[in-house]
Structure 1
């Protein structure tokens, strides 16, 4: 039997809370150790149960998720599970220690379970809205830096860390370990069939990985995904090959 992961679910909406708990409880390797209606209850439950992962809503009465997050992140990996889509909130949650950010309506039951397992292993997990918010910020930094560069006569040596490097770093952090492997093979020029043979998986599974990668990187083609992966401008891209 695999190691059983103990999870705490914190959300002020009892229907959402029960729904998340039900999705997780049906898995043999996951146990919902406790549920909480606000950040204070989540912290008390975390101290008592010592969970492996905490699911945390953003907006809750009394002590909200962002207020509790720094304290909870010191006890266990925290995954934000929320309806809050604002870019500023995504960035604040990550700055305060969240291991991932999942927006309701953007993940399936299996993806939720994968996110919990990934969080326990130290891998970040984001749904489309969160990953797009991160990439949008990097693109804005890229555009700003390129504009500043064009307005001066200085060379690239005046930019110790290029925005392209920042963009590539963010892109790498958005993907799971398997997605990183697949993306590296895509960037090497392999076809889906070659990737399937290399990873010992089916071509259908490869296509599923590629679809998730494109969603997380906000890419519409292999060329765009490769450009983001290597820290190039998002506008560069080639024909779409799913």
Structure 2
């Protein structure tokens, strides 16, 4: 997703707590590249606002009256990129939000204002962003499924990934950056990027978050 140069990224802030909304808005207003288009206090208001305002990014809480975040994220994700911003860190909720289309997941208390701004910009560009606890959930799923469940007897992945691509994918699920993956595997960042491009193509995804969700979803 690209935006015209000089045009701020439109944001919708969804949270039932007006104090949280004000705090988040205060952080976003400090970035000239972002513009808060509106707010919503529950899932139903969020859907109406998203259709009306067409935000590039929606910051979405989960626990809200009328309709919670998980119940509306599937529709919201059709109108804008969704970055979950909540105090809920239950693994099932994290998995559910990612499966329903969230491009990022941040847990209150685990990020700074600067990290929030970076996450918004990354999500606006079509990339993913996971807080440590969300990344840990993804990694735990990988661990519970086990590498042997991802590979056929001939040693090839169920997605056709090579051994090295699986190594890169495993580290990606732990939330590591390209630079960190390169250090772990003694590769160049360019090589890691090339591996990820191949992985995205084989998994039929376009972002890091989508890759994590696809990779950590067990076969039916």
* Aligned 8 A contact 2:81 2:123 in 1: yes
1:172 paired residue number: 172
2:43 paired residue number: 39
Deviations 1:92-149 (A, max 9, x none): 0000000010000001111101111100111100111100011011011117849xx9
| Deviation at residue 43 of structure 1 after TM alignment | 1.0
| Deviation at residue 159 of structure 1 after TM alignment | 6.7
| 1:1-242 mapped onto 2 (5 Å cutoff) | 2-142=6-146, 145=149, 156-157=153-154, 160-161=157-158, 168-169=168-169, 171-172=171-172, 179-180=177-178, 182-187=179-184, 189=186
The 3 A distance-change label for structure 1 pair 188 and 158 is: closer
The DSSP-based 3-state class of the residue aligned with 2:146 is helix
The DSSP-based 3-state class of the residue aligned with 1:156 is coil
Per the normalisation by structure 1, the TM-score is 0.67
* Aligned 8 A contact 1:25 1:31 in 2: yes
Deviations 1:3-32 (A, max 9, x none): 311100000111111111111011111111
* Aligned 8 A contact 1:79 1:100 in 2: yes
* Aligned 8 A contact 1:11 1:38 in 2: yes
| Deviation at residue 156 of structure 1 after TM alignment | 2.6
**Distance of 1:174 and 1:80 partners within structure 2:** 18
**Distance of 1:188 and 1:136 partners within structure 2:** 20
**Distance of 2:53 and 2:94 partners within structure 1:** 27
If asked which structure has higher relative contact order (CA below 8 Å, sep 6+), I would say 2
| Deviation at residue 186 of structure 1 after TM alignment | 1.5
**Distance of 2:15 and 2:91 partners within structure 1:** 20
